[in-house]
Structures are given as structure tokens and as C-alpha cells.
Amino acid sequence: MRVIFLVLATSILSQAQGQYWQQEVNYEIEVALNDRSNELNGFEKIVYTNNSPDTLTYIWFHLWPNAYKDERTAYGEQSLRNGSTQFYFSSKEERGYINRLDFKVNGISAKTVDHPQHIDITKLILPTPLAPGQKIVITTPFHVKLPFNFSRSGYNKKNFQVTQWYPKPAVYDGLGEEDGWHPMPYLDQGEFYSEFGKFVVRITVPAHYVVAATGVLQTPSEIELLRTRSFRNDSVAKTRATGKIIVDSASTKTLEFVQDKVHDFAWFANPDFLVEQDTCMLPSGKVIDIYAFYTEDYRKLWKNSVAFCKDAARFFSAEVGEYPYQTISAVQGVPSTGGGMEYPTITIISPIVRQRDLDIILAHEIGHNWFYGILASNERSHPWMDEGFNTFYEYKYTINKYGSKPEYSEILLQTLVKQHRDQPISTSSEALSKFGYAATPYHKTSKWLQLMEEKLGPARFREVMQRYYETWKFRHPQPDDFLAILRPELGTEADTIFGMLHQQGDIPTGEKEKLQIISPFKPKTFAAYLETPSKNTLLITPALGFNSYDKLMIGAVVSNYKLPPSSVQFIAAPMYSTGAKQFNGIGRLGYTAWSDGGNRQMEIFVSGARFSNNTIEPADGKAISTSFTKLVPGFELTFKPRDVQKPSRAFVEWKSFFIGEQPLRYREDTAFVFPDTLVSQVYTKDKLQQAIHQLRVGIDNNRALYPYSADLSLQSSKHFTRLAFEMDYFFNYAKGGLFLRFFAGKFLYTNNKSYDYGYDISRYFLNLTGASGYEDYLYRSYFLGRNHYEGLASQQIMIRDGGFKVSTELLSREIGKTDNWLAAVNLSTSIPAKVNPLAVFPISIPLRLFADIGTYAEAWEANSEKSRFLYDAGIQLSLNNEMINIYFPLFYSSEFTDYVKSVHTKNRFFRTVTFSLNLSSSLKQVNRQLSF
């Protein structure tokens, strides 16, 4: 309904006015950089012309440096929503703001009124109304404390990116929700909408800095300086070998830049910039200047950057329309730049490692001079008119130059479509999910334009796009303006094609998919898959496995697991054990269905595994190996919020574990053993079948700040029932965080406690101390030596139940083991780099401190001599994103001290060291990230 209303409103307004109008805003700005305090001091003069049919009594102004003032701004909240805590935990010195404003209108002081929600927007109240056709002069001084370069603007050491830095009037176009005004807070995901005008900007910087900026440099001495290829300031060059830059910051220079018919101005300063410059002749014969600014570290990578810029300028001029300005500049940023960002006549690119990637990103950002710069649509409300159009031409550029393009975005889009998590092209920037912003306005829109090109043919489509460019350049085209040019060309198909803008789902291409087999023996197949992802993909690759009993296992993996996911997914990994001389392996088959709303997901699955779990190797005779088999059918129903920006879910899961084991038992008829008796005659491999059913309900919230999860599980067999509740919570702080885990469990006998179960039921009990492989009765974790009691493999534990890091597996009844109830709290905190003893190494080695405290039923019995609370604490070394964790217990309860002294006579400290391998949990976390 809103779309229909806007169309009608536009039509009525057009008839009332008789013609299109837009405001004109001309700037004259003087600004000085203090590179020691990271500050700007400036003065701004604006000539504002009211070309609208309305009398204005106020003007909304953007004060975007205030977006970095505190974590409660729209930018700060969006950063958290998109998974980053960097700005939230930034220091006061790293944040930014704008102040010392003193607005005057035609020389008369004017007051401002704060925006009711956003501190980076203010309303300037005009002393006298501004009638149609009249102009006013607005002046104000301003001071900017530049932030660290969290988003697009700020400093990083001596590299300055000065963008969204001056007070800027919002757009007034007659189509807004508040009398045509478009005041908008600064966002990282979501760009801009500004009025056209002329900029005259004078920038004062320390004399040794090199400045790249929007527009044409007017300062003769600096122009001459930049004409020298590979220029670098002499004082910097002479001192690079010492690592010290000796400059006189008191010496400054002022540079003037001028540019007409643009709606923004950005500048970049760095004392280490090299400068390459050349001219470029466009297809029409017009000659423009090309500049590239980069540092010595990237000289080799950027050696062809000017040529890349020329190729892009010629391509877009030929395809869309001639470049109207006199200069194009490309600037190398720092890693915190975060990709590439465009501004009129200039773009900045974060460090890139491959020349081809640099070429393509430069083409994309230079292309924004057309789609954002010249065709200045509202990027915040209609990002597809900017990013999508530009991506369409970026793809054409890439195919023309390199023959093909990697389709990473296609994989992402197809994944979102499969999961019913994609969004319509017409979705505004702030309403898109983090993944949706990457997939929809960019890639999905480009596919939509490709569809239209196929309908019209390349030549006719080019003519239509050039007509759109000529009609709307230096103006603010809305979606209906573009569609009005296309509608006569598409005829009866127009409504169908335009309707795709507001629909979920993929854009039909009509291409038939073929089965792709990916294998390391065909290295080109994986690259081909990235270029043209297919729903019909089969992975076939050799596989190796190892544990203490099977030794080396050799086999293969056959799977169709991939992105985008298939409804039916399977993996099979058969392997031959060189130790047990048997076939082992794992397998899984699942079917997943997603609801139309994207908030429900159901998977039905069955998995299985077989491996050896013990070996007896006598000095004489043949070794005996035992194995286990596991078959697990089940289903999981997942509920997600309808708001795609929330990374949370609730789930219900049912699994039935059918487990077959071969426990070694001592034969009663061999009480008297002859010296030549074989081990196979002393022990027998009985068969034990066990069925355990598990119901889990839980919630996850993978938010950036204080993520948490909780689940309640019930396990039941014919002999016991096990209830458990686990909650995980992460308390973030500036450079790390505190992980909190709480566990509470209850064990119940199905039969009488003294019933003869025929096997060791104690492995199913609740346990405070580190669980051994033998206690992993569901065989959910990978153990190097599941039943080892000596050597390194015997020190592996799994984090379950009480989660203590001390293991007492050599006791017949481990410390803290109970067949009643227990509760425990586990804490783990990162160690700041300042006090991390391993921070001296060139690679990051994360150390943590851990502490566990727990209690259990037997300690609270009458006349019990057990400590009611047990504890341990020490140092934790986490490797490979916590896939491998090594624990060094340093402090623990006296019960553990007594155990260590009684069991370990040598190397006591190292015998208390334990480790865990979290392979399955790491894979699960990746899967959840993708599903969010």
C-alpha cells in the first residue's frame, strides 16, 4: 500500500508543479588537521537554494561524527546487531564527535533543536522562513574529534580517512515521511542521500602529508609535486631505514580542491603516500586525470592501479554514459578500512592481496561515480538502485576482462533462498540482515538486471540504460523513475518483472544445472564450482583417520554437503583400519525442510558410526580389539524469530541411540592360567546392546554482546533416566571475555538401585571431574585413546556434567561421581595481552584462566566427611578457535591433592594436565552461524 501511495503522491505532486525540482547546496569549507590529537577545526559556509514549491521554516542537518560519540547511537546499535563489539568496547580516546557549532543564517544567530532519537541529527530553525526560489547563507564553525577508523571515517596511526565529517543538510525532495525531509542517522550498513552543489574546500595539513581528495586540486605547488611519478616526501624517505619519521609538524600547507555537481566531499591524508598519475582518454575523446595513492608496502600490488582505473573509466563511460568530471583518484587504505568505499571522483580500498581482486574492486568503486555519484538515488531506502546496478556492471567488466567471475555471492544468495531467509530487492538498507545486505541489493539485483538484458537484448538494454543516465544525471531518481523508462520496453512483461522487486526467492535464469563432482584429483572442479555454484554437487575425496586402537585408517569421503544446502544431505566416510584390520567409518543422511516464513526448520536424520574402542596387546599371542557401533535416528525442529536480524533460535530435538559394544570380560573358566595360554583364551568379547533415548529443548542467542544458550535434556534407557540442564553465557569486555557455564543434573534408577544390571552402570552417573572416553557412553566425542589409562591419550577429557578439568579416572569411584544429583559452575576468562606471558611470540597464543566449583548429593548426607564444595583452577591454552584446549590445574581441593599424591609418584604436575578436543562442537557452531 505504501508503494501505491508514493506513486500516487508523486503523480499528484508532478501535476501540481509541472516539473521535477531539487534543492541546491553549495559549500565553502576551511579545515585544518591536527595529526597529533586527531582533530579537525573548520569553518563552513553554505549557500542553500530552495527550489521546492514549499516555504521552509527549518532545515535538518546531519552531524555524522556524533555517530561515534557513544555506543547507543544508531551506528553503535547496528554494529552490535551485525556481530561486532569493537566500537562498543572502544576507549574514550578512540571515539569521536562534532561540537563547537554556532549556526548563523544570513548573519543572524539561529538555534537548533536536537533530534528526538539520534544525536547525529539536528534541526536548524530558520530565523525567517525560506520562500520558494530564495536562497540563504548558513555559516558555522565546527570541531571534529576523529574516531579510530571503525567504519568509514577516522584515523589509524598516521593514516586519516576524513569522510562524513562536516555539517550537511538533509535532502528535501517532497517524498519523505515528514514533509519531504530525509534526516538519517549514520550507519555502517546503509549509505547516503545528499543534495548536489559545488564544493570549494581548503585543507590545511602538516607539510609532510600527502592529501587525496574529491575534485580538482587548485594549488599549483602541490600540483607540480604530484606530477612526479612514485613521489614520496624526502624527509620520510631518508628516515624510513631508521624506523623514525622526522618532520616539523609546525610547518603546514593549505591545499584547495574544487568540484561542482557533486553531493559529498571526502579527503585522505598520509605522510607515506606514493603517487602515480596519468591521463586517460575516454571513448568520446575527452581526457581526464587518473591518480593512485598508496604506500611503499603495496607498491608491487598497486603498480598497475592507474591502468585499472583507466579501464574502469572507459568501460563505464561506454556502457552507461560519459564520465562528467575531470579526475578519478584511487587511494589505498588500511585494514580497518573494511573493503572499499566510494565518494565523488575518489575511492578508497583496503589492502588487497591479488592484482585481479584489486582491479575488480577498483572497477566496482569507480563505477559508483555513476550509480551513487551522478545518479544520486536514496541509497538508504533503495540500496538496489546503487549497489545492484553497479554490481551488474562490475560483473560485465569482470567477464569481459577475465572471462568469468567468482560467484561467492551466488552461493550466499542460494543459501538464503533455500532456507527461506532471503529478502526482497526493495528492502531498505537498515531492514536487511547482515548476510541479506551482501546478497540482495548487490547480487540479486544484478541478476534481475541480467534478466531484463536477456529480455531486451544487449544493444537495446544498453540504449535504455544510457537514456536513464542522460535523463537523470545529477538528480535524484526514485524507483518509479527508472521503471517508467523501462516499462515501454518490456510491454506486457513489465508488471511481472517489476513485481520481482518486492518478492522473496531467486531470480529465474532458465539455466539447467549439471551434476558437478568435486575431487582433489580434479583441482579445477572446485574453482569451477565457485564460479558457477550448483545445487547438484558431489564431493569425493580421500580420507585419513587415526586413533590408538585402529591406528591409521585409510578411506574416502563421499558427500553432497555444501552451500547452498540440498534438502537431502549425506556424508559417508568408509575407512579401513590398519590396526584392527576391519572396516570402520561414519555416515549421516538427513532431510531438511524450511517453512515459507523462514522461521521454522525441520530435519529428519539418521547417522551411524563404527570404530575400535579398546585393544589388549599381550607380550605373546594375538591382540584383541573391541569395537562399537552406533545408529542414531532422530529429528530436530528449529524455530527462529521472524526478524531476520536477530541471531537467535529455539529448538526441540529427539534422538535415539542404538549402541552396540564389545566389552572385554575375564573368563571365569580360566582361573588357573597356564603359561602358554593365549590372551584370546583368557578374555571374551561379549556383545552389549543399549538403547538410550534423548529429548532436548533449548535456545541459542548468538548475539555479539553477551551471547548465551541453554538446554534441558532428558535421557532414558530401560535402566536409568538422566535429567540435565546446562546454560552457557559469555560476558564480553574490551579485549576478551568471561565464559560462564552452569550445570545441574539428576540421576534416577528405573529399577531398584541394587538391581544386577549385568554391566558397569556407573559410567552413566553424573560426574564433577573430567569425563574420560569410557564415560562417553553416547560416543559423541573424538578420543585419541578412549580407554587408555596411561600416556598422553589417557589425559584427554570431555567437558560434560560438572566440567572440572582435573581427572580422577584411576579411581574405582571417581571424586565427585554421583548417582543422585550434582550442580557446578565453570568459569573461563581471557588474559589481557599486557600480562600474557606468551604475548612475546610473533603469533597470537591465547591463554585463559579457568575455575570450577561444584557440589553433589553425597557431600550433603548426614555424617558425610566429604567436602561439600569441590574446586579447581588453573591456566587454559586454547588453540584453533578453541578446537583444542589444554588445561593446567594449579589449585584444587584437598581431595584432588590426595588423589594426585597417591596415584602419581612421578611428574605429578604433568600428570594433572588434561586436554579436550571439541571437533563436533566447533562444526556445530559453524553450522549455526550459517543458519542464522
**Residue 187 binned pLDDT confidence (cut-offs 50, 70, 90):** very high
Report the relative pairing of strands 346-349 and 327-332 from DSSP bridges.
parallel
Average pLDDT value over all residues in the chain:
88
Sole residue written with cell 579401513: 576
**Residue 5 binned pLDDT confidence (cut-offs 50, 70, 90):** very low
282: Cα within 13 Å, side-chain hemisphere: 22
The DSSP result for 650-670, as a single string, is EEEEEEEEEEEE--EEE-GGG
Strands (E), 327-440: 327-332, 340-343, 346-349
Distance CA 556, CA 559 (A): 10
* Cβ within 8 Å of residue 712, ≥6 positions away: 696, 697, 698, 723, 724, 725
Q: Residue 384: what pLDDT?
A: 97
What is the torsion angle, in degrees rounded to the nearest 10, for the CA atoms of residue 239, residue 243, residue 247 and residue 253? 90
pLDDT digits (tens, 9 = 90+) for 205-225: 999 999 999 999 999 999 988
**Which phi and psi angles does 342 have, rounded to 5°?**
-105, 150
**Residue 179 binned pLDDT confidence (cut-offs 50, 70, 90):** confident
Helices 355-367/305-319 angle, 10° precision: 40
922: pLDDT strictly greater than 60: no
930: pLDDT strictly greater than 50: no
Region 740-744: what's the mean pLDDT?
98
928: pLDDT strictly greater than 60: no
Mapped onto helix, strand or coil, the DSSP state of residue 607 is strand
Mapped onto helix, strand or coil, the DSSP state of residue 834 is helix
pTM strictly above 0.75: yes
- Give the residue from 635, 563, 559 showing the smallest Cα distance to 592: 635
What is the torsion angle, in degrees rounded to the nearest 10, for the CA atoms of residue 157, residue 160, residue 161 and residue 163? 130
pLDDT digits (tens, 9 = 90+) for 73-130: 999 999 999 999 999 999 999 999 999 999 999 999 999 999 999 999 999 999 999 9
Report the relative pairing of strands 252-262 and 197-206 from DSSP bridges.
antiparallel
Sole residue written with cell 535532502: 171
414: pLDDT strictly greater than 80: yes
729: pLDDT strictly greater than 80: yes
Please, what sign has the CA dihedral across residues 360, 365, 368, 369? negative
The secondary structure of the chain in percent helix, strand, coil, rounded to multiples of 5, reads 25, 35, 35
Q: Which residues are bridge partners to 661 per DSSP? A: 628, 688
Q: What is each CA distance from 813 to 690, 762, 856, in whole angstroms?
A: 23, 8, 14
Distance CA 886, CA 890 (A): 13
The DSSP result for 575-602, as a single string, is EEETTT-SEEEEEEEEEEEE-TTSSEEE
**Residue 3 binned pLDDT confidence (cut-offs 50, 70, 90):** very low
Region 460-479: what's the mean pLDDT?
97
Q: Residue 621: what pLDDT?
A: 62
Distance CA 182, CA 176 (A): 6
510: pLDDT strictly greater than 80: no
pLDDT digits (tens, 9 = 90+) for 525-556: 766 666 666 677 888 989 999 999 999 999 99
pLDDT digits (tens, 9 = 90+) for 783-820: 999 988 888 899 999 999 999 999 998 888 899 999 99
Asked if 121 and 183 touch (Cβ cutoff 8 Å), the reply is yes
Region 559-573: what's the mean pLDDT?
91
Distance CA 543, CA 42 (A): 64
pLDDT digits (tens, 9 = 90+) for 293-308: 999 999 999 999 999 9
According to DSSP, residue 22 is labeled -
Region 267-273: what's the mean pLDDT?
96
Region 393-404: what's the mean pLDDT?
94
**Residue 671 binned pLDDT confidence (cut-offs 50, 70, 90):** very low
Distance CA 205, CA 188 (A): 27
Q: Residue 19: what pLDDT?
A: 83
pLDDT > 90: percent of the chain:
71
* Cβ within 8 Å of residue 876, ≥6 positions away: 805, 828, 847, 848, 849, 850, 885, 886, 887, 888
According to DSSP, residue 719 is labeled S
470: pLDDT strictly greater than 50: yes
pLDDT digits (tens, 9 = 90+) for 339-350: 889 999 999 999
**Residue 1 binned pLDDT confidence (cut-offs 50, 70, 90):** very low
850: Cα within 13 Å, side-chain hemisphere: 25
Q: Residue 282: what pLDDT?
A: 97
Distance CA 20, CA 13 (A): 9
- Give the residue from 153, 124, 139 showing the smallest Cα distance to 64: 153
What is the Cα 813 distance to its own chain's centre?
46
What is the torsion angle, in degrees rounded to the nearest 10, for the CA atoms of residue 559, residue 561, residue 567 and residue 568? 20
The DSSP result for 848-915, as a single string, is EEEEEEEEEGGGGSTT--S-S-EEEEEEEEEETTTTEEEEEEEEE-HHHHHHHHHH-SSSHHHHH-EE
